[in-house]
A = this chain, B = another copy of it.
Amino acid sequence: MLGDRWSLLIIRDMMLRGFRTYKEFLECYEGIATNILADRLRKLVAYGIITTETDASDGRKVIYSLTAKGIDLAPVLTEMVLWAAAHEDTGNQALVRLMREDKKKFLAGVRQRWADRHSARP
């Protein structure tokens, strides 16, 4: 169900880089095809991992957010980033250091930011 090339990257970028719109994913360095992106977002909604709403101040924009089920993938993504940092070419070095130094605190921070965004709006 998350066994494809893009779904986990989408979730990672929503969780760690704050991506929220179609355009952000499409323009991201990773080069996903537009129809595939639309399909993956649709499936993630169907699986209950993300939700959609139209932006209140710009009717063209669709805002994607993680559900509780989606944010619960934070430990999985964190371990993946740490593994990649240890064994592959590494991305955001500062982020990796944060994760490694205090994993619990880092995860608590991710959850807190998510909760903040969700208490403000229904």
Question: Which has the most chain B C-beta neighbours within 10 Å: A4, A69, A78, A87?
Answer: A87
Q: Is the interface of A mostly helix, strand, loop or mixed?
A: helix
A87 contacts which chain B residues (CB < 8 A)? 48, 69, 72
In the complex where A3-B8, A5-B3 touch, is A75 in contact with B79 (Cβ < 8 A)?
yes
Write out the residue numbers on chain B whose beta carbons fall within 8 Å of the beta carbon of A80.
Answer: 76
Tell me the count of chain A residues lying within 8 A, CB to CB, of chain B: 21
Report Cα–Cα, A79/B8, bound state, in Å.
14
Interface residues of A (CB under 8 A from B): 1, 3-6, 8-9, 48, 69, 72-73, 75-76, 78-80, 82-83, 86-88
The contact sample of 7 A-B pairs, CB cut-off 8 A, is A3-B5, A69-B87, A72-B87, A73-B83, A75-B82, A76-B79, A76-B83
